[in-house]
A and B are shown apart, each in its own frame.
Chain A
């Protein structure tokens, strides 16, 4: 059986008719008891399991998932990875993720197709340029890469962009982060799942949480559609459904769930080799390796668990894209979809123990969870293994809402929600 992925194993399997490939992960029945149970088989949940096994050497772990692996927001995002935030706490967090992404493919022997093609966040006025300079300064001081681009630099990296002075949102320059880019979203989930499974983690799909087992005021596991599963510590990593499960555990969260939609065009030859975001139109775009333009915009402003986008926002996104790239006018849209994102009041995530002792949270990533997967996994694994915060996760504890220590990236880095 072939376990290791390489050009040589691909060649050897080619000679044998591709019959020797081992399944990427097992599908075991759940055991009645684990040391640590993780609810949610998306990127963050699977990464948590992997780092628990790899870094903390805890092997008696299960990940349970109500649907299929990576079928929630991990499979519905626009695959952008970046760390262009304003506050030092955020840069610590998101740059940790980006650094881990840079070596992840080799570490887990899975090609996540990381492409550090850079992200261009446009500035549409002189005032925008001053804010761009402030953002670049903050990013550099916080220790990540950033460059202030003028209009000539923008023209160079985005030759098809409408930079006419008559444009609805004229372009003056912007913030460039060269280490940002895209990664194959499904591969991140599958790669972590395969690596965690190798280390003995049980990954159990189509297993839905029905209620929490609460004894002596502590979370002792969950009752699922496949029976009771007990654990010393439980991690809840369910993104847009965090409030729904929190209600079952008896507490509320500072989260509102919204649909965030995206769409792709038909595939065309390479025309766009960076990620571009226009705060004016609220639209961002990149081109996938298959040639499709991957386009996203703002949230649907109606709280929802519906996993589908509404028409007004799709109209805004498409008209915004055509404002930016008039030459895309003849393209046809192939697919449009939505994921349910968990938006917090300060647009920063929540990491830490929940109000129910023994139950730990990784949620509140809002529209930006994919880029943070390696960090979210690392930090929740640290919490679950030690019961204590990592220095990087401490500022993101739920207690920031009662202490008044919000990390307001909506204001800081201009997240569009």
Chain B
């Protein structure tokens, strides 16, 4: 059983968390001006990196969404962040 760090609740069992996709995958703005390929990229295409990953997760126990940096090969978690904090893109917000 792996523990993931919720920025609000601290370390909790992996089974309490839900994967929410790539950090920084913003919904395209502009409605009718958005092209099919932009929608496809947003809706379906994924980074799915082998190694260092920057992801959005939800802690289903508290309902909060946050950003987590971890490694997809050895599963080590580097750090988790409240959205909008922690540098580069903050995920969303």
Contacts and interface: CB of A to CB of B under 8 A. Distances in A.
A253 B50 contact: no
B13 to A, nearest CB: 7
Interface string B55-75: 100000000000000001111
Q: Which of A303, A345, A401 has the most CB of B within 10 A?
A: A303
A310 interface: yes
B44 interface: yes
Interface string B26-55: 000000000011011101111111110101
B1 interface: yes
B37 to A, nearest CB: 6
Interface residues on B, range: 20 to 34
Contacts of A402: 36-37, 39-40
A253 B45 CA distance: 5
A401 B72 contact: no
Nearest to B47: A252
B79 to A, nearest CB: 17
Contacts of A256: 46, 48
A140 B43 CA distance: 34
B3 to A, nearest CB: 12
Given A252-B41, A311-B1, A305 B46 contact: no
- Size category of the A interface is 20 to 34
B1 A310 contact: yes
Contacts of B40: 254, 401-402
Nearest to A253: B45
Contacts of A257: 48, 50, 72
Contacts of A243: 46-50
Interface of B: 1-2, 13-15, 17-19, 36-37, 39-41, 43-51, 53, 55, 72-75
Per CB-CB distance, the 10 closest pairs between chain A and chain B, nearest first, are A243-B48, A254-B44, A252-B45, A244-B50, A402-B40, A312-B15, A401-B44, A305-B50, A402-B36, A305-B73
22 contacts: A241-B50, A243-B46, A243-B47, A252-B48, A254-B44, A255-B48, A301-B18, A301-B19, A302-B2, A303-B19, A303-B55, A304-B73, A304-B75, A305-B73, A306-B72, A312-B1, A312-B13, A312-B14, A401-B40, A402-B36, A402-B39, A402-B40
